Amino acid sequence: MKRMIFNTIALGLVLTVSAACQKELGYTGFVDQDAAASAEISLSTDKAVYKAGETVNFSASSMPEGAIYVRYKHLGEQLGTEQALTGNTWTWTAPAEDFKGYMAEVYQKSASGETVLATIAIDVSSDWSKFPRYGFLATFNEMSQESSEDVIAGLNRLHINGVQFQDWHWKHHWPLAQDKTTMEPLETYIDIASRNTSLQTIRNYIASCHKYGMKAIFYNLCFGALEDAAEDGVREEWFIFKDTGHQEKDVHTLGAPFKSSIWLTNPADEGWLSYLGERTDDIYENLGFDGYQIDQLGGRGTVYDYNGEVVDLTESYAGFINYMKDRQPEKDLIMNAVSSFGSRQILGTGKTAFAYNELWGSEAQFSDLKKVIDANISYGGENMKTVFAAYMNYDKANNPGSFNTPGILLTDAVMFALGGSHLEMGEHMLCKEYFPNSNLGMSAELENAIIAYYDFMTAYQNLLRDGGTFNDVAVSSSDGTYAFKSWEPAAGNIITLAKEVGNRQTIHFLNFLNADSTSWRDLNGTMPEPSEVNNLSVTIQLPENKTVESAWIASPDIECGASRTLAFTQEGQTVTLVVPSLKYWDMLVLEYE
């Protein structure tokens, strides 16, 4: 949903991988520091997602001297034997099971022990909607194929498996720029924000997405018409109005540099559906898009059709989705639910790839994130996944500056722990609803951390996003040093979020000890960095009749997400263990017998 534009609009960050997880993320446990000090390794894979049994190609920027190995794990359990690495490239055959996440750990052996040098996740999934990791593109000026490839390679390192092409279009009511006489696409045109746009750049981006196994999704409103719409065949009877006498059209007012304001059509009108359906067919016939990101503008108050009848926009959204899916059944559909407006109707169609929620002030609390996810599951079924369009440091982004790393990481930690994902990464990190806005940049620390967080979300997706039931597990500080609180978040506490997945009990530790707010938005970038807690002794009260066979822990803040076993004791239903370190987020896993 677009509301404003800022002056700084530029092609921004292309992610590369930093190395030495222990050093970059400031963790000092579990590692041989002499070996870590000399290790600088960046890992990459040739795709964002793989089919079962497919060959995974790995690359490393460099390798230190000595005995270097790689092992592959699924949920903390090593698969097969370790593999000695003798060069900077190697391959692995993905297991035969579909919809699984894995972690590759590259490590070094020395006389003083073992050091994890780098990790990278692998997603084996035949359908991206099972575990959506959504990114975006927002600038489509003339650029070389190499430049566009670099941008997508950066998203590939984050395992982004779907890319939204935002504000690529000519006009909302006629998105693909065409010569009206020949209907041939225009190779260059002025987009809706008066920017020069190259069709070849769009083609190159789509090709790069497909090379890495990503879906390319085009963006457009479901009901937008610019001021010249009548010249392009949009009829007066298709609009929605603020009055019963069709005198005042509903309008989303925009100023310069946008071409015009946006007047709203009726998404349920048969004439409009047919018209926009034809325009959408033109897109698919000329460009290799895989689906349609449908946008709306939230609640509009009471609106009427041309005949003075009240239009229920939420119900019309369902009809719009059904029509578009029937017209192009092989294409994916995603529809924005602005502040959850229309969520029930949108997801109730059963025809969207996943839930997409643009969050605003009415859903500003960390606790709202779980409420949205729970509601989406109730509307769309237990397999419905949620992607949050949630703009960080929103007020700070009114001026050029840098993202506040603690605010970003704490929000991502909570979203990922809850099983959601975050639309935030494209040519730059997202800070405003006008996606080309790049006022805020990423520090090297944040770049490195984001890579670790996306590896973590991908490698452990079967615990984070693959079913299970949130449950009540009491956790306390064994020596009373720290305050623990089960969900919902409150400042001054370590927040625990428990979930039973099969024969595993997960407990997420979320560090709110120094938090200055319980809002995920961190509007002005004031969220302080949490104090790191070391050797945290905890006591856990398990549900009845549960016996723990093993315990392990992983964190995107420690060794780039590599899992480590923990010692524990159990007396009755009470388990005691020591969490080695907590920065933002740890995931403890208790394996039951």
pLDDT digits (tens, 9 = 90+) for 168-208: 999 999 999 999 899 999 999 999 999 999 999 999 999 99
Residues 6+ apart with CB under 8 A from 273: 267, 319, 320, 323
The predicted pLDDT at position 2 comes to 37
Dihedral sign for Cα atoms in the order 236, 240, 242, 243: positive
Asked whether the predicted pLDDT for residue 72 surpasses 60, the reply is yes
Q: How many CB atoms lie within 10 A of CB 544?
A: 6
Q: Which two tokens stand for residue 48?
A: 């964002």
Q: pLDDT tier at 26 (50, 70, 90 boundaries)?
A: very low
Q: pLDDT tier at 20 (50, 70, 90 boundaries)?
A: very low
The predicted pLDDT at position 21 comes to 55
pLDDT digits (tens, 9 = 90+) for 322-349: 999 999 999 999 999 999 999 999 999 9
119 forms beta bridges with 105
The predicted pLDDT at position 8 comes to 27
Helix (H, G, I), strand (E, B) or coil at 278: helix
Q: Which two tokens stand for residue 563?
A: 């899992």
pLDDT digits (tens, 9 = 90+) for 440-458: 999 999 999 999 999 999 9
Please compute, for residue 201, the number of CA atoms within 13 A of its CA located in the half-sphere on the CB side: 20
560-589 average pLDDT score: 97
Counting residues of the chain whose pLDDT is more than 70, the rounded percentage is: 93
CA 392 to chain centre: 13
Which amino acid is residue 170, in one-letter code?
Answer: W
The predicted pLDDT at position 483 comes to 96
Residues 6+ apart with CB under 8 A from 545: none
Residue 247's Cβ-count burial label (10 Å; 0-12, 13-18, 19+) is exposed
Helix (H, G, I), strand (E, B) or coil at 10: coil
What distance in Å separates the CA atoms of residue 530 and residue 511, rounded to the nearest whole number?
7
The predicted pLDDT at position 516 comes to 97
Counting residues of the chain whose pLDDT is more than 90, the rounded percentage is: 90
Asked whether the predicted pLDDT for residue 391 surpasses 80, the reply is yes
Give which of 486, 579, 492 is closest to 530, Cα–Cα: 492
User: pTM for the full model?
Assistant: 0.93
Give which of 118, 94, 141 is closest to 20, Cα–Cα: 118
What distance in Å separates the CA atoms of residue 74 and residue 461, rounded to the nearest whole number?
10
Query: Does residue 387 or residue 112 have the better pLDDT?
Result: 387
The verdict on whether omega for the bond into residue 175 sits within 30 degrees of 0, i.e. cis, is: no
Mean residue pLDDT across the chain: 93
What distance in Å separates the CA atoms of residue 541 and residue 544, rounded to the nearest whole number?
9
156-173 average pLDDT score: 97
* DSSP assigned state of 328: S
* DSSP assigned state of 248: S
pLDDT digits (tens, 9 = 90+) for 205-255: 999 999 999 999 999 999 999 999 999 999 999 999 999 999 999 999 999
The predicted pLDDT at position 10 comes to 31
Calculate the CA dihedral of residues 316, 320, 321, 323 and round it to 10 degrees.
130
Residues 6+ apart with CB under 8 A from 22: 28, 30, 31, 33, 36, 115, 116, 559
CA 112 to chain centre: 39
What distance in Å separates the CA atoms of residue 88 and residue 39, rounded to the nearest whole number?
14
Asked whether the predicted pLDDT for residue 30 surpasses 60, the reply is no
State the pairing for strand pair 188-190/196-198.
antiparallel
Residues 6+ apart with CB under 8 A from 34: 110, 112
Domains with residue ranges and CATH for the chain: 21-124 (2.60.40.10), 128-389 (3.20.20.80), 469-592 (2.60.40.1180)
What distance in Å separates the CA atoms of residue 456 and residue 131, rounded to the nearest whole number?
13
The predicted pLDDT at position 34 comes to 38
Query: Does residue 8 or residue 130 have the better pLDDT?
Result: 130
Helix (H, G, I), strand (E, B) or coil at 270: helix
Helix (H, G, I), strand (E, B) or coil at 549: strand
Helix (H, G, I), strand (E, B) or coil at 44: strand
The predicted pLDDT at position 46 comes to 98
126-131 average pLDDT score: 98
Asked whether the predicted pLDDT for residue 39 surpasses 70, the reply is no
What distance in Å separates the CA atoms of residue 490 and residue 262, rounded to the nearest whole number?
41
377-406 average pLDDT score: 98
